Chains A and B, each alone.
Chain A
C-alpha cells in the first residue's frame, strides 16, 4: 500500500505519537501476517518522524541481508554520526585484525584488488577448530563470540547513552522484517538493547520492531513494550482506500464485494485495485 493511500492503523499511529511525546513505553512491537501492511505502517511512522525532525535509524532485514548485533550497532553509529561513537569504533577495530604484508619483488609488482583482505570483519581472528578434542587451540566458539559481543555492546551503549543525553529529542530506531533476523540477533535485541531501554540505561531511544510473529518476551518488559497486532482491514477502511484510489461511487457495496472476493488483507485489497485500474481501459463500462 503506497504511503499516499495509507488507511486505517490510526490507533497504532496515535500510540506511536504518544510514545514520541512521552517517551514511555519506549518500545513498540508490531506484528501480523504477511500482507497485513506492517511495512506500510512503518513507512508512515518513518514519515512522521522525519516531519518532526527527529533522528532515525532504519534497518530492514531482507532475504540477502541479515544484520547481526554488530551490523545493527554499526548502522546506528553510521546514521547518528561516527564522531559520537569513538569507544565503540575503537573496540570494533581492536576486534578486527590488521594484517600487514611485506612483499619483496624483483621487477614490477602487480596488485589485484581481490588479492588484499578487504572483507575482514569481527570474527576473523580464528584458530584451528578441533571441537571437544582436548586440544586447547582457539576456535570461534559461541562463548568467545558472545564475550566479544558483550565488550562491543558495552562500548556501544556507553557512546549511545552519552549521545542521547545531549540530544534534546528522542532518537527512533526502526527494525523491519525482524522475522528474518537470526536467533542470535534476536537474543541480542531482547537481551541487550531492549533490556538496556527497559533498565533506563538508554533514555531517549525509541524502538519500533515489525515482524510476522509475536515475539516471546518476559514479563519484565510489560512496562517498556507496547504491542500492536495488525489484522485485516475493516469495511470502512476498504471504503476509504477505494476513495483514495479514485473509486468514489457506491464504495460501501463495492468494498463488501471486494472483501468477499479477495479478503481484506491490505496487500490483496491493494493488488485487486491495481489489477482493476490497470485493466480498466479494456473493462466493460
Chain B
C-alpha cells in the first residue's frame, strides 16, 4: 500500500504541473487502442457494440462488446439501457476535437452512421422513429454539412408546423454542435431557425435580437427577405409598428430588386396586417388591393383566395357588408378553380358569418350548411365552428330548441375530439342559452357551469366569471311554476289573516 501511495503521489506531482483537462489526462493513461475507442465513442451521443463496429469496422461484434465492457469501467462512461453514454463534458470535449478540422475518417464514420440510422427508421415505433430521425440528421452534418443543414431545416419545419417545440429545441441543439464548422451564411440559417423558435414561444425581444444578427451575416438574399419579413412580424407583435414597417420596407426593396415576387407578396400581406393592427383599416385594405393587382405574377390562386378572404373579413369587421360579400364572392369564385374543398368550406362559413352579422339567419344557415357539406369532416375544428355558428343561428331564430341543441352538441363533440377546450366551453355556453330560452333551467345551469369550469381551466377567468354571472342571472330570471304561485298566494293570505286576527284580538281587549 505504501508503494501504491508513493506511485500515486508521483502521479499527482506529475499532473499538478500540467494544465491538461481530466479527459486528456485519462486519454494519456489509456493504451493507444483504448484511447482511440474512447475518442470514437464521442462521435455519437450513445454507443453500443453495434455502433462501435461502425465506428471501427475492424472490430467484430464480440470484440466490440469487450471494448464496451472495458470502457464501462471508466467513471465517465455510464450504462444507459442497452447503450452506453459518455459524461456530457467529456463527450463535448472529445467531439470538439473531431471537428478541428474534420478528417476524412470522421466523414466516413458519419456516413456509415447515417446509413445505419436510415435502416433503423424502417418499421421503427412512432417515438423511436422521431429520435432516430434526429440521430440520422446529426450524423448527416458530419458526412455532408449542407445536406445536414437541409435535413435540419426540413425536420425543424415539420415539427414546428406541428408545434412540437421541444423537438425543435433538440434539433437546434444538435445542429449547434457543428457550429465551429459553419461559415457566416450557415450560421445565419441556424440563427433564423432559433429566431422562429423564439417567436413561436412568444419571446419577441429575443426574436428581434437573433434576427438582427442573422440578417447582418447572411449573404443569401431570399433568406434575408424572409428574415426581414419575420423581423417585421416580431416588431408588430411587440406593437412597435414603425420598426415593423421599416423591416417590411427593407424586405420589399430587396425582394423587388431580386425579383422575388412570391416573397414580396407575402411581405405585403404581413405589412397590411401591421397597418391594420395600427388601426388604419383603410390603408391596410388599400395595400391588400395593390397586392392583388400584382399577385398574378406569382401565379398562385390560393394566395389570391387568401387575400380576398382577408379583405372580406376586414370589411365585415368594418361593417361594410356589401363590399365584404363581394370580396368573399371573389374568393369563392377563385377557390372553385382549385380543388381545395376545405378552404372553400371556410369561405362559405365566412359568408354565413356576414349574414349572421346582419341578422339574416335563414341565409347564414344556408351558407353554414354548404360549408359543412364541402368540409365533409376533413377539417374537424372548422366543422365544429360551423356547427356552433349554426347552433347560434337556430338559437337566434328561436323557433325550436331541437336544431340548436343538436348543432351545439355536435360542435362540442368535434371540439372535444381535437381537444379545443375554449371552443368546448363556447359550445357549452351556447347550449346553456338554448336550454334557458326554452325553459329548461336546470339543464341550462349545468351546461353553463360546465362552460365556466372549462374557461377557468384554460385560465380565461373573464369568460369564466361571465358564465358564472349568467348562471346567477338565470336564477333571478326563473319564473315561478303555477304551484309556486299558489303556495305564495296562500302564504300571503295566511299571514294577512293572522295579522287581522291579531289586530281583532288586541282591539277586543
Q: How far is the CA of A65 from the CA of B80 in the complex (A)?
A: 13
| A236 on the B face (CB < 8 A) | no
The listed residue with most A CB atoms (<10 A of its CB), out of B46, B74, B173, B342, is: B74
Q: How far is the CA of A34 from the CA of B92 in the complex (A)?
A: 12
Q: For A100, what are the chain B residues with a Cβ–Cβ distance below 8 Å?
A: none
Q: Is the CB of B419 within 8 A of A147?
A: yes
Q: Is the CB of B422 within 8 A of A147?
A: yes
Q: Is the CB of B23 within 8 A of A271?
A: yes
Q: Is the CB of B87 within 8 A of A267?
A: yes
Binds B, one of A16-24, A123-131, A161-169: A123-131
Binds B, one of A133-141, A193-201, A224-232: A133-141
Q: Is the CB of A137 within 8 A of B379?
A: yes
Smallest beta-carbon distance A77→chain B, Å? 13
In the complex, the 4 A-B pairs of residues with the closest C-beta atoms, listed nearest first: A148-B419, A249-B5, A182-B166, A270-B75
Q: Is the CB of B313 within 8 A of A119?
A: no
Q: Is the CB of B10 within 8 A of A283?
A: yes
Extra contacts besides A71-B127, A135-B310 (14): CB < 8 Å:
A68-B166, A121-B126, A125-B380, A126-B162, A133-B273, A134-B314, A137-B343, A138-B379, A183-B165, A183-B201, A260-B16, A270-B75, A275-B26, A283-B11
Once A132-B273, A145-B163, A146-B458 are accepted as A-B contacts, the answer to whether A114 and B122 lie under 8 Å apart by CB is: yes
29 A-B interface contacts by CB (under 8 A): A34-B88, A62-B85, A68-B167, A71-B127, A74-B127, A94-B419, A114-B121, A121-B127, A129-B161, A131-B233, A134-B309, A136-B349, A137-B382, A141-B163, A142-B163, A147-B420, A147-B422, A151-B419, A183-B165, A184-B166, A248-B1, A257-B16, A262-B15, A270-B75, A271-B22, A272-B12, A275-B11, A278-B26, A283-B7
Q: Is the CB of B26 within 8 A of A64?
A: no
Partner of A119, one of B29, B129, B233, B416: B129
Q: How far is the CA of A66 from the CA of B2 in the complex (A)?
A: 49
Mask, B351-395, CB within 8 Å of A = 1, is 000000000000000000000000000011110010000000000
Smallest beta-carbon distance A55→chain B, Å? 19
Q: For A129, what are the chain B residues with a Cβ–Cβ distance below 8 Å?
A: 161
Partner of B269, one of A67, A127, A133, A146: A133
User: Chain B: residues with CB nearer than 8 A to chain A?
Assistant: 1-13, 15-16, 22-23, 25-26, 28-30, 45-46, 74-76, 78, 80, 85, 87-90, 121-127, 129-131, 134-135, 138, 161-167, 169-170, 173-174, 200-202, 233, 269-270, 273, 306, 309-310, 313-314, 342-343, 346, 349-350, 379-382, 385, 416-422, 457-458
Once A1-B75, A114-B121, A145-B163 are accepted as A-B contacts, the answer to whether A65 and B273 lie under 8 Å apart by CB is: no
| A87 on the B face (CB < 8 A) | no
Smallest beta-carbon distance B282→chain A, Å? 16
Q: Is the CB of A113 within 8 A of B122?
A: yes
Smallest beta-carbon distance B83→chain A, Å? 10
Q: Is the CB of B129 within 8 A of A126?
A: no
| A35 on the B face (CB < 8 A) | yes
Q: For A130, what are the chain B residues with a Cβ–Cβ distance below 8 Å?
A: 306
Q: Is the CB of A275 within 8 A of B25?
A: yes
Once A136-B346, A146-B458, A274-B29 are accepted as A-B contacts, the answer to whether A284 and B15 lie under 8 Å apart by CB is: no
Once A63-B170, A272-B15 are accepted as A-B contacts, the answer to whether A118 and B4 lie under 8 Å apart by CB is: no
Partner of B174, one of A34, A63, A181: A63
Smallest beta-carbon distance A96→chain B, Å? 9
Q: For B270, what are the chain A residues with a Cβ–Cβ distance below 8 Å?
A: 132
Q: For B379, what are the chain A residues with a Cβ–Cβ distance below 8 Å?
A: 127, 137-138
Q: For A60, what are the chain B residues with a Cβ–Cβ distance below 8 Å?
A: 80
Q: How far is the CA of A71 from the CA of B127 in the complex (A)?
A: 9
Q: Is the CB of B22 within 8 A of A268?
A: yes
Q: Is the CB of A64 within 8 A of B174?
A: yes
Q: How far is the CA of A130 from the CA of B305 in the complex (A)?
A: 12
Q: How far is the CA of A92 from the CA of B337 in the complex (A)?
A: 38
Of the four ranges (under 10, 10 to 19, 20 to 34, 35 or more), the interface on chain A belongs to 35 or more
Q: Is the CB of B126 within 8 A of A271?
A: no
Q: Is the CB of B11 within 8 A of A279?
A: yes
Smallest beta-carbon distance B471→chain A, Å? 22
Q: How far is the CA of A57 from the CA of B6 in the complex (A)?
A: 45
Q: How far is the CA of A44 from the CA of B125 in the complex (A)?
A: 31
| A258 on the B face (CB < 8 A) | yes
Query: Chain B residue with minimal CB distance to A250?
Result: B5
Q: For A125, what are the chain B residues with a Cβ–Cβ distance below 8 Å?
A: 380-381, 418
Q: How far is the CA of A183 from the CA of B78 in the complex (A)?
A: 27
Q: Is the CB of B7 within 8 A of A285?
A: yes
Q: Is the CB of A182 within 8 A of B165?
A: yes
Partner of A66, one of B166, B342, B417: B166
Q: Is the CB of A118 within 8 A of B126?
A: yes
Q: For A151, what are the chain B residues with a Cβ–Cβ distance below 8 Å?
A: 416, 419, 421
Once A64-B134, A249-B1, A275-B26 are accepted as A-B contacts, the answer to whether A118 and B129 lie under 8 Å apart by CB is: yes
Query: Chain A residue with minimal CB distance to B237?
Result: A132
Q: How far is the CA of A34 from the CA of B127 in the complex (A)?
A: 28
Once A68-B166, A124-B162, A128-B343 are accepted as A-B contacts, the answer to whether A95 and B269 lie under 8 Å apart by CB is: no
Q: For B2, what are the chain A residues with a Cβ–Cβ distance below 8 Å?
A: 249
Q: How far is the CA of A250 from the CA of B2 in the complex (A)?
A: 8
Partner of A279, one of B9, B28, B269, B381: B28
Q: Is the CB of B163 within 8 A of A285?
A: no
Q: Is the CB of B46 within 8 A of A271?
A: no
Q: For A183, what are the chain B residues with a Cβ–Cβ distance below 8 Å?
A: 165, 169, 201
Smallest beta-carbon distance B328→chain A, Å? 12
Smallest beta-carbon distance A70→chain B, Å? 10
Q: For A2, what are the chain B residues with a Cβ–Cβ distance below 8 Å?
A: 75
Q: For A133, what are the chain B residues with a Cβ–Cβ distance below 8 Å?
A: 269, 273, 306, 310
Q: For A150, what are the chain B residues with a Cβ–Cβ distance below 8 Å?
A: 421, 457-458
Query: Chain A residue with minimal CB distance to B138?
Result: A64
Once A2-B75, A64-B170, A134-B314 are accepted as A-B contacts, the answer to whether A284 and B10 lie under 8 Å apart by CB is: yes
| A261 on the B face (CB < 8 A) | yes
Q: How far is the CA of A2 from the CA of B74 in the complex (A)?
A: 8
Q: Is the CB of B310 within 8 A of A134?
A: yes
Q: How far is the CA of A182 from the CA of B270 in the complex (A)?
A: 29
| A48 on the B face (CB < 8 A) | no
Q: For B350, what are the chain A residues with a Cβ–Cβ distance below 8 Å?
A: 136
Q: For B418, what are the chain A residues with a Cβ–Cβ distance below 8 Å?
A: 95, 125, 138, 144, 148
